[in-house]
Amino acid sequence: MRTIGLLGGMSWESSAEYYRLLNNETRRRLGGHHCAKSVLLTVDFAEIEAMQRAGEWEKAGHHLASAAVTLQEAGADMVLLCTNTMHRVAETVEAAIDVPFVHLVDATARRVANAGVRRVGLLATRFTMEMDFYRTRMERHGVEVLVPDGPDRTLVHDVIYQELTQGLIEPFSRDAYRRVIAALERRGAEAVILGCTEITLLIGPADSPLPVFDSTLIHVETAVGLALRPDA
């Protein structure tokens, strides 16, 4: 099995979920006492979040690229950037390493397209919903992305940063997310992407009238598949 490098800490709550899912998926496939060979490097989210607010994406990209190199030097045979939003700088991270970079958006887009879905709603941070890096990558796979309207984008974003990244799970926020998904369905969404790694801490398939694509789980399943390829 190849060693999976996890570039996490954005936030640590979701990185802990990555680690749990990674090992669950490995045990599901291999059974017994098997767990994933992995290396986890956690950055300080306070530093990354400040760069996000300041629009210092290039600086953030170089910061994460340096962290990815450290993962590679620690023995990682591939690198996962354990955050949707920071895939805004994925190209910078990928260019800095010699091992494969497992792109979260590509993995999610392939899963959506293979399911025959052509129009999908996206719940994510404001950066992910309003910048074009996610939407453009999805469109390469033939998938159209719908995002919530302005007030709902603010609500979704604020719940992520003010609650989920702080470890707070509020029932009224779950109800609010259900309402946002219902609004996306009325606009023609055929499914919904949980496009922020913390969102799965709040809602899941049971909360949605639409099929749910959990980007975190898809990312993990893709990585484990690569790590267990016969040529590994």
Q: How far is CA 204 from CA 50, 56, 69, 194, 214, in A?
A: 29, 32, 34, 9, 8
Domains and CATH numbers, the chain: 4-103+218-227 (3.40.50.1860), 105-215 (3.40.50.1860)
In one-letter notation, the amino acid at residue 109 is A
Residues with active-site annotation: 83, 196
The predicted-structure confidence for 115-134, as pLDDT tens digits, reads as follows: 999 999 999 999 999 999 99
DSSP tag of 20 = H
Q: What is the mean pLDDT of residues 147-173?
A: 96
CA distance 225 to 228: 5
**Contacts within 8 Å (CB) and 24+ apart, 45-48:** 45/9, 45/10, 45/11, 45/12, 45/165, 48/9, 48/10, 48/86
pLDDT at 232 over 70: no
The predicted-structure confidence for 11-57, as pLDDT tens digits, reads as follows: 999 999 999 999 999 999 999 999 999 999 999 999 999 999 999 99
Q: What does the pLDDT read at residue 42?
A: 97
Q: Model's pTM, two decimal places?
A: 0.94
